[in-house]
Amino acid sequence: MSSTLREASKDTLQAKDKTYHYYSLPLAAKSLGDITRLPKSLKVLLENLLRWQDGESVTHEDIQALAGWLENAHADREIAWRPARVLMQDFTGVPAVVDLAAMREAVKRLGGDTAKVNPLSPVDLVIDHSVTVDHFGDDDAFEENVRLEMERNHERYMFLKWGQQAFSRFSVVPPGTGICHQVNLEYLGKAVWSELQDGEWVAYPDSLVGTDSHTTMINGLGVLGWGVGGIEAEAAMLGQPVSMLIPDVVGFKLTGKLREGITATDLVLTVTQMLRKHGVVGKFVEFYGDGLDSLPLADRATIANMSPEYGATCGFFPIDAITLEYMRLSGRSDDLVELVETYAKAQGMWRNPGDEPVFTSTLELDMGDVEASLAGPKRPQDRVALGDVPKAFAASAELELNIAQKDRQPVDYTMNGQPYQLPDGAVVIAAITSCTNTSNPSVLMAAGLLAKKAVTLGLKRQPWVKASLAPGSKVVSDYLAQAKLTPYLDELGFNLVGYGCTTCIGNSGPLPEPIETAIKKGDLTVGAVLSGNRNFEGRIHPLVKTNWLASPPLVVAYALAGNMNINLATDPLGYDRKGEPVYLKDIWPSAQEIARAVELVSSDMFRKEYAEVFEGTEEWKSIQVESSDTYGWQPDSTYIRLSPFFDEMQAQPAPVKDIHGARILAMLGDSVTTDHISPAGSIKPDSPAGRYLQNHGVERKDFNSYGSRRGNHEVMMRGTFANIRIRNEMLPGVEGGMTRHLPGTEAMSIYDAAMLYQQEKTPLAVIAGKEYGSGSSRDWAAKGPRLLGIRVVIAESFERIHRSNLIGMGILPLEFPQGVTRKTLGLTGEEVIDIADLQNLSPGATIPVTLTRPDGSKETVVCHCRIDTATELTYYRNDGILHYVIRNMLN
């Protein structure tokens, strides 16, 4: 039986006079039982198991367990999922290619065939993370930023070009094209994939993993996908299935319609707040309800994009007529669109009005109840109604930043020969940025229309606001120009600065020097308003303490108002040429105006911009690389270094060592993000990474960012825990990556302390609160700790991707028992940790952790092992997932 279900379910369908073979869920249901009401996201997983059934990695019992999920809307079983393809961006892609190149070196050293280190599934790498907003506010900004990007990143781009010729099925989308998730949505995503296998065309659902947490955006197109760490993505592209537990699925019912003046951004911030409160970490969310009948695909993509912010593995929208409409608009072929419709209907993956699948739990939102909102000051789930923003800003400054309202005085400064006063609460960055919103024509047209009305009335951007427009694809520029809105955005300083992530990932660039000086002089609490998806501390700019997520039209409105203390719901944004007050309602475009503008978006725009998507600019084409299977490492490079992870690796894994005498390197609070652990933004000159670069002859102006240096482990290990806003509770009142080298009392950088411990051969631990490792799917947040010598992280809870990354790097994730925390235990960070019997570890087991206090007293805490599956345990015993893959290749 175990080998026949796959064959028994094989069938054919016709689309555009072409015959496709596929693995039919209705035929499989004859053996499995009725699966009609299985969530459609799980039907995608079920087809995957059916297609890959081999009796070993996928068994009949695995398939039966997934079909049997309906009995309890839950299933306790590990499955092996094989996505159709892999998506990467350059910040995570460069270190992934470094790892692949290093794996070839290791396989060669151990006597294996280097050709085996090659992607088995398609890999697309989109260069989008490297452009920085150095220039802004004029017509030359785009050209200047592109020039600087190519100068700074020439070596990285050479390396990626080498990778493109060295590895099969590996394609690079050059810089200046767009953001990977928007390119994926508008061009790469197919909804249904087809390929020639043994002379037959086989159709199956498009699916993917990506090395960026917002890979989830593609679920808006009905494509199942999510972010993983780079190391897990590398394993996936080399043929290793993604190990996962069959997920719970939360149904989110959308009803009604958005009211006049309410945007998709307001909707997604509301959904994010609701789902964070509901609790969806490690779960799928699937959207259903009659509200989907009129919810545009761009709005769906905006909601799906922020899955990491609400904590879910994905936020899935099933295929329906609106999916097909978008595919036609974005220039997909008629053949593909017909295949998608035919396949989805044949498989029961098509959304019909009134569908009510079975879910683990549900929640519901009438979209008519959504109000204008922002999220801030430092977490995406902290939604604030527009009229409450001044109160929220004041509360955050006083309670969290310990700054009394009365003590904040404006600071005089001069810029371009003009005297100004910079007020406390000033909006110093206003950025239309990020895949979350720049993929959505309705909110971008709204921003342009609002700008047009503001300019017509004589309103101007406040002089201290650094404004920028960084669309996720060139199509955006086309339709803004077609609507004749570009000149008005330019007039307010929202000139095009690049096609890439920019401010959203911390590439906001420097503020004008007089502004930076004024902020420091007055110790001002200033704000950034951006149409992004993340607003963690220290992420947007080191001097900007509060960051607010908002829709593109609200970003423009805040650039006009220039202050977080102004209530945009009731206060004037400014004054017209007659001195009359102008309110937000006076310049907010109507739904009809927005709809008329959106009608100008055409499929010709998509076809034109994506016709030569892999070609690149003349600068890109001029980059020459040598053809070779192994990379020619340069010993003096500060960008690309041979990583040390496989240096001492042997063909067989050594037994897992127990942890004896471990010292605590850092004791951290709740919601510690991967940004805290491994920052992506600017490198401070007086930091360990800054000193390393200066010692290697790199001038400060050429530091670039941590993200761009991820191909150099020397920089990245020095940047681990180097976020300027991280707070190590071992040093109360101190911000930044500092600790103590115990038993000493002296404060020093975490890197310096870790190196001293390595000299002493002392293993290390990290203690943390809830949601450890939330945020980006940043593998260096696990790689860096590994290089510092960290063996175990003990936290109250972990975010999904980071937990997996830790295991992938051979670091043990443990959770405190319910109700036990570092605070209830009275930990100071001076304790010594012992963990025994690790060779006999089992998934989900309880593990005694012995704490020895400075006075010699001992306490044992029984922690929960967060190695959740047998496959993850295999990775851990091999010292990491890539070590396991290499040994598989050798065998």
Q: What is the pLDDT of residue 232?
A: 87
Lowest mean pLDDT among 417-421, 650-654, 681-685: 681-685
> Could you give the CA distance from residue 326 to residue 754 in angstroms, rounded to a whole number?
52
- CA torsion 618-624-629-635 (nearest 10°) is -120
- pLDDT at site 404: 53
Count of C-beta atoms within a 10 Å radius of residue 823:
10
Architecture of domain 659-679+719-890: Alpha-Beta Barrel (3.20)
In this predicted structure, the answer to whether residue 191 has a pLDDT above a threshold of 80 is: yes
CA–CA dist 647, 642 (Å, integer): 10
Do the Cβ atoms of 53 and 374 come closer than 8 Å? no
CB atoms within 10 A of CB 737: 25
Q: pTM to 2 decimals? A: 0.87
Candidate from 40-49, 148-157, 319-328, 480-489 with smallest mean pLDDT: 148-157
Its sign, for the CA torsion 539, 543, 545, 551, is: negative
Q: Calculate mean pLDDT across residues 117-132.
A: 90
- Specify the pLDDT at position 1: 38
Band (pLDDT 50/70/90 cuts) for residue 149 is confident
pLDDT at 777: 67
Instruction: Give CA–CA dist 575/849, Å, rounded.
Output: 64
Q: Which residue has the higher pLDDT, 248 or 535?
A: 248
Q: What is the pLDDT of residues 630-639, one digit of tens each?
A: 999 999 999 9
Cβ neighbours around 406 below 10 Å, total: 6
Cis-peptide into 763, omega within 30 deg = no
What tens digit of pLDDT does each residue of 73-90 get? 999 998 999 999 999 998
Query: What class has domain 373-610?
Result: alpha beta
Note the pLDDT tens digit of each residue in 337-353: 999 999 999 999 999 99
Local structure of 108: helix, strand or coil? helix
Per-residue confidence (pLDDT) for residue 887, from 0 to 100: 96
pLDDT over 80 (residue 700) = yes
Phi-psi region of 184 (alpha: psi -120 to 50; beta: other; left: phi over 0): alpha
Q: pLDDT value at position 3? A: 54
Using pLDDT thresholds of 50, 70 and 90, give the confidence band for residue 617.
confident
Question: Which CB contacts under 8 angstroms, 24+ apart, belong to 159-162?
Answer: 159/94, 159/97, 159/98, 159/631, 159/639, 159/640, 159/711, 160/90, 160/93, 160/94, 160/97, 160/125, 160/127, 161/623, 161/625, 162/625, 162/626, 162/628, 162/631
What H or E segment, with its residue span, contains residue 759?
A: helix 750-759
Q: Which two tokens stand for residue 767?
A: 């203690």
Residue 541's pLDDT band, with cuts at 50, 70 and 90, is: confident
Structure confidence at residue 691 (pLDDT): 97
What residues pair up with 407 in beta bridges, in sequence order? none
Q: Tell me how far apart the alpha carbons of residues 754 and 745 are, in angstroms, rounded to a whole number.
A: 15
pLDDT in tens, 200-225: 999 999 999 999 889 999 999 999 99
- The more confidently predicted of residues 618 and 714 is 714
How do beta strands 832-835 and 858-865 pair?
unpaired
Q: What is the pLDDT of residue 796?
A: 98
Backbone angles phi, psi at 863, to 5 degrees: -95, 165
- 374-388, pLDDT tens digit by residue? 999 988 889 999 999
Lowest mean pLDDT among 126-130, 153-157, 296-300, 652-656: 126-130
| Edge-to-edge strands, sheet with 361-366 | 314-316, 284-288, 249-255, 361-366
Angle at 683 between CA 730 and CA 209, to 5 degrees: 90
Residue 535 reports pLDDT greater than 80: no
**Which residues are CB-neighbours of 164 under 8 A, at least 6 positions away?**
170, 171, 172
Q: Are 319 and 355 in contact (CB under 8 A)?
A: no
Mean pLDDT of the chain: 94
Q: Tens of pLDDT along 545-585? A: 999 999 999 999 999 999 999 999 999 999 999 999 999 99
Average pLDDT over residues 227-247: 90
Residue 57 CA to residue 80 CA, distance in Å, equals 6
pLDDT exceeds cutoff 50 at 2: no
Q: Residue 509: its pLDDT value, please?
A: 82
Q: Is the model's pLDDT at 153 over the cut of 70?
A: yes
Preceding amide of 743 cis, omega within 30: yes
Domains of the chain, by residue range, sit at: 5-81, 373-610, 659-679+719-890
Helix axes 780-788, 800-808, angle to 10 degrees: 40
**Which region holds residue 733: left if phi is over 0, alpha if psi is between -120 and 50, else beta?**
left
pLDDT at 58 over 80: yes
Phi/psi for 33 (5° steps) reads: 100, 175
738-760: string of b/e by CB count within 10 Å (b at 16+)? bbbbbeeeeebbbbebbbebeee
258-278 burial, b at 16+ Cβ within 10 Å, e below that, comes to: beebbbbbbbbbbbbbbbbeb
What's the one-letter identity of residue 740?
R
**pLDDT at position 731:** 97
Residue 117 has a pLDDT of 94
pLDDT at residue 4, as a whole number:
80
Coil, strand, or helix at residue 522?
helix
CA-based angle 382:385:388, to the nearest 5? 100
- Quick one: CA torsion of 868, 869, 873, 874, rounded to 10 degrees? -160
